[in-house]
Amino acid sequence: GRFEIIHLNRIDSTNTYAYKLAKEGKRDIVVVADEQTSGRGRLNRVWFSDFGGLYFSIVLESDVDKFPVLNFLAPICMVKTLKNYSNKNYGIKWPNDIIVNNKKICGILSEINVEYGFMVLGIGINVNNKIREEIRDIATSLKEVEGKEFDKMEILKTFLEIFESYLNNLSPENILKEYKENSLTLNEYVKIITPNREIFGHVVDITYEGIVLQTDEKLEIVDVGDCIHLRK
Ligand code: BTN
């Protein structure tokens, strides 16, 4: 395959480590760890990273134009990957959470460095790890969904194969279309919390510029960077 895999037992965060390697010039590498001691989520949240889960970060050459496309591509590939192992209904909650049975099974944290021209795509999937008590209402694992354990490195391989096949001829239009087909947010009524206010509305479209909401007053577009929380 295209990617060199660096497998670590334990690290603070694969994203932090991959970012450092990227600054040193590395590209097309995947850092995977069995455990993370400071797994990071979006918006400075923590990502519990107990043994049994799959935690990895991909370093890709990217500019500002490619960034949103790769950001939509990752969850599409993850949905496809999970559907390889499970018949349940996996979908994407905007911007890039993977949901099954109304609970989150996978989260994605992407970071870009414009100066150095790379992005780090960090993906965490609850595979065999036990879901901690405090998030049991909102999170699930593949083991919990299917009632059996999975080979997480096998899942990583499947994901990378699918991901690679798209990378070879990146089509922003096609990716957006597939993203929308797998979206659990499109056409729903949602409340979005931003730093300044709450917006309630009907999701009439999703674009690379943001999510398009029809509120009582007008059509509003909310950028990913401005969304702190989205609720149905
Ligand atoms: C989120 O849902 O907020 C994103 C979670 C991303 C977690 C992954 S696990 C591998 C990579 N390393 C990290 O520290 N975070 C990402």
Assign domain 4-181 one CATH number from 3.90.870.30, 3.40.47.10, 3.30.930.10, 3.40.50.300: 3.30.930.10
Alpha carbon distance 3, 10 (integer Å):
20
Per-residue pLDDT reduced to its tens digit, 157-172: 999 999 999 999 899 9
Q: Where are the domains of the chain?
A: 4-181, 189-231
pLDDT in tens, 60-119: 999 999 999 999 999 999 999 999 999 999 999 999 999 999 999 999 999 999 999 999
Distance 191 CA to ligand 1 centre (A): 24
- Is ligand 1 within 6 A of the CB of residue 41? yes
96 lines ligand 1 (CB under 6 A): no
232 confidence band (pLDDT: 50, 70, 90): confident
- Which residue CA neighbors atom 3 of ligand 1 most closely? 41
Nearest of 19, 114, 25 to residue 57 by alpha carbon: 19
Cβ contact 114:100 at 8 Å: no
> What is the interface pTM, i.e. ipTM, of the complex?
0.99
Neighbours of 9 (CB within 10 A): 8
Q: Is the CB of 52 under 6 A from ligand 1?
A: no
Residue 123 near ligand 1, beta carbon < 6 Å:
yes
CATH of domain 189-231: 2.30.30.100
